[in-house]
Every structure is written in structure tokens, then in C-alpha cells.
């Protein structure tokens, strides 16, 4: 290309890139204080100027220059979502062109594909310690956890480019650092098909939900069955982001909004953070999205058609935002609507990310203050909720834009089928149940004793930077010990497990031997909420619930009846007080009168021959300080 043409093309590109506001992929300008009409005018002027220059020198190669450089795969073809490789390549080129963008590998998937970490900062700083010291806030964005729901991948390529080149977006980097995990479920992203998302309107090829081990990664944040989850936890703990965004596409009812949002359930997080989320961040987000032409509603989580009422979503720690909430990081899941055109879904997700960054920048100090206060509140909390239920007594209402639903006869089944009539849009106030209430709480212990045998749990605590100590010296102590008295267990596998639910325990005070090398996990630490959510067997995402201790549930030793007969006779003779209890048991179980084995078994369980470890929960929650000799332990990761 001759030098003068190159200069013209560069000037043209510069105008296009530096003009404030959106371009090909956008609907509106990024500055939320400017109204929609101005946005479109500015966009038209900028695009017009660009087009004029483009036409003036179209044989100069500028079109090709633009085409080859910063147009994203989605902008080139709006029915296409970038593959993982295309996304990584684009970001690598961006990194080479801009000192603000750094890409690096932060781990691997189960299929041993590299996972990228993209750090965008004003000064190219990639060290979280330096970033935190400078007072900047950190926003972490995760994409393609469900690769069929890939709007975030394409939105983030445009966002990264804008942060790299556009002065108005660069200004945000004074206050914040953006970290992007561009394609989290790398393995699922390799499997692309036009039919993986049966109910979804594009893109042309959609990735698959399962990862290399066919796991849904958005159920894996506590159990960490996948390498992806270990990689995520490592990245998350390193950055300790103030805000976390996980981009998705929804299934479910039909309604007018292109995009909805799940904010982390506020009843699960400390009051200071809940207040900041509910009073500042969420209202700002809804306002900003409405102003930009993408009015949002809360995620449409219902038992029936939306007009029957929307429920809040209980994002347990197995889900991304539930996990990040355990570390006082405010989590948001934008969920675009599956039936809306793919380009609209990408643009609304893109705008959502803009809004989050603007709000994080505008409220930086309040956000950091709320988080610090929330951490103190967590450390001072004595009674911890571990189970919740939807609070139907706290009914709110919501202006909802839906479509009239009706039923018509299905030609497939011959029965009634639900049908949303798009020719009958409505706008009406509907019931909204946003709150959850605790139905079980436990007292916070001073710490937990974790037997060293449970290395898989230790690995998970270690990757979450939980402070742990090795106990030095065998110690016998009186401790409250939990026995699992009952539980229900899934009869079908769920995410590689048969989880336990409705767990009941019986507490006994017993003398326990703690061995040298067992772990002491104090509760007075940043990870307190994570520990309260995992260490008590009754919590829905506890280690026990996720089958980490199933070894305790079956008996290991038994007796031969003909030998135990004599031992049982002696034991009952020595303990006449047991006879009354046995008589009572026989009244309750008349069938035992013809089942000698059952009677012997009852005596066995009430004798010292019965193993004490059967159904004994191995983690001890210690209520009062113990004078230990301790050695710091940073743990090992797999
Ligand atoms: Zn999803």
C-alpha cells in the first residue's frame, strides 16, 4: 500500500476507533448519561464519516485493513459466534497491538485445552497485588461456561477492543481492571452443531453444554470435579474480583425482554453488600439498560406462565455466582432470551457489560467500602444460615412486559399445549417473590478439625486459599461429634454424583483422638462463608452432600450369629438396664420376634463391638479455643 494511502487508512481507522460510542456491533453509545437519540445521531455521524473515508480510498486497501484487523468474527457475520480459537487469536492480536491488553494461559480444561486469562488495565499491570494496592476495582467476566450460550464471547471481543483503543472506554481503566475468561468450557466449545440448543434462535453453530467429562461446569464450583473448576478457583482467588459476571442464555417462558439478570440472592450475603447491590448497583443496571434500549427484567424463574409470579433464584454455591458470593464478590448472570435474534442477544450482553463497567467505575469507592464492611460482618456473624426457602410471605410486584399465553391443541400429542401469542403483548403488574428465608442455622465454631485422610477436601480448601494448620502432637479431646442419623440420596446420578439431601444429624459429646498431621481450620478468616457452606453436613453444598465422605455410610465389620450369641448373652447379663430398652424396641418391631438376627443386631449396636465410625461425621466443629501446637500448612493441589 502506498504511504499516503496507508496514512489515510490509519487516520480513518483512528477516527472509527476513537469516536466515542458504538460501532458495527452496538445499538447505543456507552455513556449512560447521553440519551438514545443523541446516541444514534453520533453513531450515524461517525459511521458516515468512516464510510466517506472508506469510499474515498476503497482501492487503497483500507477495507481490507479493517476486515483483517479489528472486526470480530461476529461483526463480520452476525449469525456466527467466535470459536474458542478465533477468540483467543483475536485477543492475542489485540494484546500485541495494545499495551493495555495482556493474554496468558491460566490453566487447562479437562480435555487439556488451555484456558485464557485476559487482563485489561490502563498501565498493563497484571499483578493483582499491585492492582489492589492502587485502589482499582476488579471486574471478572466469564464466558461460554455453557458454550451454546456464547453471546458473552462475542461481546467480550468487542469490549476488549474498545478498552484497548477507545478513549472514552480507556477512561474507565483509571478506576478498574477487567479480567476476562473468554471461553471457560473449552471442551464443550469444540463440539459445535446447529442443533445443540433445540429452542434457541442462533447462532449458526452452537457449542455443547457438557465439558470433556460431560459435566455441567455451572454445578461444579464446590465439588470441583473438573480441571476447569480448579483453574477457575485459582484465577478467582488470585484476583478476588469485586464484581463477577457469568454470561448465559435462558430457556423457559416467552416474554418481550431480550435480556434478564440474576443477581446473587441478597439474603445469602452480608447486609452491607446486599444493600449496595439492591440499592445502588441493580437499580443503576436496570436504569442504564433501559436507557440504552434494552429494558431488562429479573430472570424469569416461574412455576407457570410469568403472570403467575416470578421467584428469586437461589444460587447455591455450586453455581458460579453462589460461589463468588461466598467471598463477598457480587455476582451477576445476564441471561439473554433464547428466542430473540442472536445479534440482539450479543448486543444486549455487550451493553450489559458496558453498564457493569460504568457502574463499577462510578461507584468504585462505595463498592470497595461495602465489600470491606461485608467481610467484617461475615467475620462477626455467630449464627449462620445453611438452608433457605422461598419466602412467599414477602410478596413484591413488578411491571412485566410479556405475551399473552393460551393453550391450543397439539397436532403431535392431541392434547393442550402452551402457546405464547406474540401478537398480544401486554404490560402489567405481576407478583414478584424476590426473598428467601433461612430454615436452618448453625453456630459458628472457632474452627474445624479435618482428618488428614481427606486429601480431596484439603486440595479444594487449598485452591480456595483457606488458611490451614497442621496439628502437632496426638491429642485427645472432648468434642461435639455429629452422627448422620438420616439422609435422602438421589436415585439417579447428578453431575457425576448421587448427592445427599435432607441430612439430619445427632450430636454426641465424645472423646476423640486427633492425630499429628490432622488439620486445624480456623473460622476467623476470609473464607468463613465458604467454610460454613461446605463443612457442615446439613448444608446443601457440603462435602457430605457431594459424596466426599460416603465411606462412613456403610458398616465395615459384622458378626457371625453363632459366635455373637454367647457374647450377647454375657453383655445383656452385665447390663440389665438394656433389657428394658430392648423390650421397648421389640414392641415397636413385633416382626423381630421371628427374626433372631434382628435382635442380635440390636444388641450388637448397643455393645462395644459395634464400630464407632459408622455414620460418624469425620469433621469436628470445635466450639471453644483449644491450646494446640500448630504449623502453618498451605496445602497441596492436584
Ligand atoms: Zn447457561
pLDDT recorded at residue 324: 98
Q: What pLDDT, in 10s, does the model give residues 163-206?
A: 999 999 999 999 999 999 999 999 999 999 999 998 989 999 99
205-208 long-range contacts, CB within 8 A, separation 24+: 205/80, 205/81, 206/81, 206/147, 206/148, 206/150, 207/144, 207/146, 207/147, 207/148, 207/150, 208/147, 208/148
Give the confidence band of 565 by pLDDT, cuts at 50, 70, 90.
very high
pLDDT recorded at residue 68: 58
CA nearest to 386, candidates 493, 299, 314 = 314
Average pLDDT for 9-36: 40
CB atoms within 10 A of CB 593: 10
Please provide the average confidence, as pLDDT, over all residues in the chain.
90
pLDDT recorded at residue 636: 66
Going from the Cα of 149 to the center of ligand 1, the distance in angstroms, rounded, reads 6
Distance set, CA 217 to CA 186, 210, 316 (Å):
11, 7, 14
For residue 275, pLDDT beyond 80? yes
For residue 7, pLDDT beyond 50? no
As a whole number of angstroms, the distance between CA 422 and CA 410 comes to: 18
As a whole number of angstroms, the distance between CA 432 and CA 45 comes to: 43
As a whole number of angstroms, the distance between CA 304 and CA 253 comes to: 8
Nearest-Å Rg of the Cα atoms of the chain is 29
Going from the Cα of 388 to the center of ligand 1, the distance in angstroms, rounded, reads 23
- Domains, the chain, with CATH or none: 3-68 (no CATH), 98-380 (3.40.630.10), 438-555+613-633 (no CATH), 561-605 (no CATH)
Going from the Cα of 198 to the center of ligand 1, the distance in angstroms, rounded, reads 14
Angle at 469 between CA 466 and CA 470, to 5 degrees: 135
Give the confidence band of 304 by pLDDT, cuts at 50, 70, 90.
confident
Going from the Cα of 146 to the center of ligand 1, the distance in angstroms, rounded, reads 5
Q: What pLDDT, in 10s, does the model give residues 202-234?
A: 999 999 999 999 999 999 999 999 999 999 999
Going from the Cα of 209 to the center of ligand 1, the distance in angstroms, rounded, reads 8
Q: Is there a contact between 509 and 481 (Cβ–Cβ < 8 Å)?
A: yes
Going from the Cα of 144 to the center of ligand 1, the distance in angstroms, rounded, reads 8
Q: Indicate the pairing of strand 248-250 with strand 310-311.
A: unpaired
Helix, strand, coil percentages, rounded to 5, for the chain: 40, 25, 35
As a whole number of angstroms, the distance between CA 73 and CA 79 comes to: 9
Average pLDDT for 91-95: 97
Q: What pLDDT, in 10s, does the model give residues 344-374?
A: 999 999 999 999 999 999 999 999 999 999 9
Going from the Cα of 97 to the center of ligand 1, the distance in angstroms, rounded, reads 32
Q: Is there a contact between 273 and 330 (Cβ–Cβ < 8 Å)?
A: yes
Q: What pLDDT, in 10s, does the model give residues 375-404?
A: 999 999 999 999 999 999 999 999 999 999
Could you check whether the bond before residue 203 is cis, i.e. omega within 30 degrees of 0? yes
Going from the Cα of 541 to the center of ligand 1, the distance in angstroms, rounded, reads 20
Going from the Cα of 563 to the center of ligand 1, the distance in angstroms, rounded, reads 59
Going from the Cα of 250 to the center of ligand 1, the distance in angstroms, rounded, reads 6
pLDDT recorded at residue 189: 96
Going from the Cα of 148 to the center of ligand 1, the distance in angstroms, rounded, reads 8
Q: Indicate the pairing of strand 137-142 with strand 176-181.
A: parallel
Q: Is there a contact between 212 and 203 (Cβ–Cβ < 8 Å)?
A: no
Give the confidence band of 26 by pLDDT, cuts at 50, 70, 90.
very low
As a whole number of angstroms, the distance between CA 115 and CA 241 comes to: 18
Give the confidence band of 66 by pLDDT, cuts at 50, 70, 90.
low
Q: Is there a contact between 231 and 463 (Cβ–Cβ < 8 Å)?
A: no
* Percentage of the chain lying above the pLDDT 70 cut: 89
Going from the Cα of 89 to the center of ligand 1, the distance in angstroms, rounded, reads 24
Going from the Cα of 247 to the center of ligand 1, the distance in angstroms, rounded, reads 7
Give the confidence band of 31 by pLDDT, cuts at 50, 70, 90.
very low
Q: Enter the C-alpha cell of residue 535.
A: 463443612
For residue 8, pLDDT beyond 80? no
As a whole number of angstroms, the distance between CA 14 and CA 167 comes to: 11
Going from the Cα of 248 to the center of ligand 1, the distance in angstroms, rounded, reads 4
For residue 621, pLDDT beyond 50? yes
Q: Please name the helix (run of DSSP H) or strand (run of DSSP E) that holds residue 569, with its range, or none.
A: helix 561-574
Q: What pLDDT, in 10s, does the model give residues 420-451?
A: 999 999 999 999 999 999 999 999 999 999 99
Q: Enter the C-alpha cell of residue 638.
A: 492436584
Q: Is there a contact between 110 and 226 (Cβ–Cβ < 8 Å)?
A: yes
Average pLDDT for 509-519: 96
C-alpha 103: how far from its chain's center?
23
Going from the Cα of 225 to the center of ligand 1, the distance in angstroms, rounded, reads 18
pLDDT recorded at residue 305: 87
As a whole number of angstroms, the distance between CA 148 and CA 373 comes to: 38
* Percentage of the chain lying above the pLDDT 90 cut: 86
Going from the Cα of 249 to the center of ligand 1, the distance in angstroms, rounded, reads 5
Which residues have beta carbons under 5 A from ligand 1 (an ion)? Answer: 146, 149, 248
As a whole number of angstroms, the distance between CA 467 and CA 567 comes to: 48
Distance set, CA 60 to CA 5, 400, 483 (Å):
6, 52, 78
Amino acid at each position: 500500500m502506498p504511504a499516503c494511502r496507508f496514512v489515510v487508512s490509519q487516520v480513518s481507522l483512528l477516527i472509527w476507533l476513537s469516536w466515542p460510542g458504538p460501532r458495527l456491533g452496538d445499538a447505543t453509545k456507552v455513556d449512560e448519561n447521553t440519551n438514545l437519540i443523541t446516541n444514534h445521531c453520533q453513531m450515524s455521524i461517525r459511521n458516515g464519516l468512516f464510510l466517506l473515508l472508506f469510499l474515498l480510498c476503497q482501492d487503497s486497501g483500507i477495507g481490507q485493513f479493517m476486515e483483517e484487523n479489528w472486526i470480530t468474527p461476529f461483526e463480520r457475520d452476525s449469525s456466527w459466534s467466535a470459536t474458542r480459537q478465533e477468540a483467543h487469536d483475536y485477543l492475542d492480536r489485540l494484546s500485541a497491538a495494545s499495551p493495555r491488553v495482556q493474554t496468558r494461559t491460566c490453566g487447562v480444561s479437562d480435555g487439556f485445552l488451555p484456558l485464557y486469562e485476559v487482563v485489561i488495565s490502563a498501565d498493563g499491570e497484571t499483578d493483582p497485588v499491585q492492582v489492589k494496592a492502587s485502589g482499582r476495582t476488579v471486574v471478572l467476566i466469564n464466558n461460554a461456561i455453557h458454550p451454546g450460550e456464547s453471546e458473552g464471547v462475542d461481546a467480550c471481543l468487542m469490549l476488549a477492543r474498545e478498552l484497548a483503543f477507545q478513549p472514552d472506554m480507556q477512561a474507565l481503566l483509571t478506576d478498574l481492571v477487567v479480567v476476562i475468561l473468554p471461553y471457560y468450557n473449552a471442551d464443550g466449545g469444540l463440539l459445535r452443531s446447529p442443533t445443540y440448543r433445540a429452542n434457541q434462535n442462533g447462532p449458526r453453530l452452537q457449542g455443547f453444554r457438557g465439558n470433556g467429562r460431560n459435566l455441567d461446569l455451572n454445578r461444579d464450583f464446590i465439588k470441583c470435579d473438573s480441571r476447569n473448576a480448579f483453574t477457575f478457583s485459582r484465577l478467582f482467588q488470585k484476583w478476588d474480583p469485586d464484581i463477577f459476571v457469568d454470561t448465559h442464555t435462558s430457556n423457559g417462558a416467552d416474554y418481550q425482554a431480550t435480556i434478564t439478570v440474576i443477581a446473587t440472592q441478597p439474603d445469602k450475603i452480608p447486609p452491607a453488600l446486599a444493600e449496595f447491590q439492591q440499592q445502588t448497583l441493580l437499580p443503576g443496571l436496570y436504569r442504564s439498560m433501559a436507557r440504552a434500549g434494552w429494558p431488562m427484567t429479573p430472570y424469569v424463574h416461574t412455576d407457570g406462565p410469568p403472570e403467575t409470579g416470578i421467584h428469586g433464584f437461589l444460587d447455591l454455591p455450586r453455581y458460579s455466582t453462589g460461589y463468588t458470593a461466598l467471598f463477598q464478590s457480587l455476582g451477576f448472570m445476564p441471561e439473554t432470551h433464547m428466542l430473540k435474534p442472536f445479534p440482539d442477544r450479543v448486543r444486549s450482553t455487550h451493553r450489559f457489560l458496558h453498564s457493569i463497567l460504568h457502574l463499577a467505575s462510578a461507584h468504585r469507592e462505595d463498592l470497595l467500602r461495602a465489600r470491606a464492611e461485608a467481610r467484617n460482618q461475615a467475620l462477626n456473624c455467630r449464627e449462620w444460615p445453611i438452608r433457605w426457602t422461598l419466602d412467599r410471605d414477602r410478596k413484591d410486584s413488578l411491571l412485566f412486559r410479556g405475551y399473552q399465553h393460551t393453550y391450543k391443541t397439539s397436532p403431535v400429542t392431541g392434547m393442550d399445549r402452551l402457546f405464547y401469542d406474540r401478537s398480544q403483548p401486554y404490560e402489567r403488574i405481576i407478583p414478584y417473590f424476590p426473598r428467601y428465608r433461612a430454615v436452618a442455622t448453625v453456630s459458628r465454631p472457632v474452627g474445624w478439625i479435618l482428618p488428614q485422610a481427606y486429601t480431596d477436601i484439603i486440595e479444594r480448601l487449598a485452591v480456595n486459599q483457606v488458611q490451614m494448620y497442621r496439628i502437632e502432637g496426638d491429642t485427645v479431646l472432648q468434642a461435639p461429634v455429629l452422627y448422620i442419623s438420616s439422609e435422602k440420596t438421589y436415585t439417579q446420578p447428578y453431575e457425576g454424583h448421587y448427592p445427599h439431601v435432607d441430612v439430619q444429624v445427632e450430636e454426641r459429646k465424645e472423646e476423640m483422638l486427633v492425630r499429628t498431621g490432622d488439620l486445624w481450620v480456623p473460622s476467623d478468616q476470609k473464607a468463613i462463608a465458604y467454610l460454613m457452606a461446605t463443612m457442615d453436613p446439613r448444608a446443601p453444598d457440603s462435602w457430605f452432600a457431594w459424596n466426599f465422605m460416603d465411606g462412613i455410610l456403610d458398616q465395615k465389620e459384622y458378626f457371625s450369629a453363632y459366635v455373637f450369641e454367647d457374647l450377647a448373652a454375657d453383655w445383656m447379663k452385665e447390663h440389665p438396664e438394656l433389657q428394658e430398652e430392648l423390650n421397648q424396641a421389640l414392641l415397636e418391631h413385633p416382626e423381630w420376634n421371628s427374626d433372631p438376627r434382628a435382635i442380635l443386631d440390636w444388641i450388637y449396636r448397643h455393645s462395644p463391638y459395634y464400630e464407632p465410625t459408622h455414620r460418624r461425621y469425620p469433621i469436628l466443629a470445635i466450639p471453644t479455643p483449644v491450646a494446640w501446637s500448630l504449623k502453618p500448612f498451605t496445602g497441596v493441589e492436584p
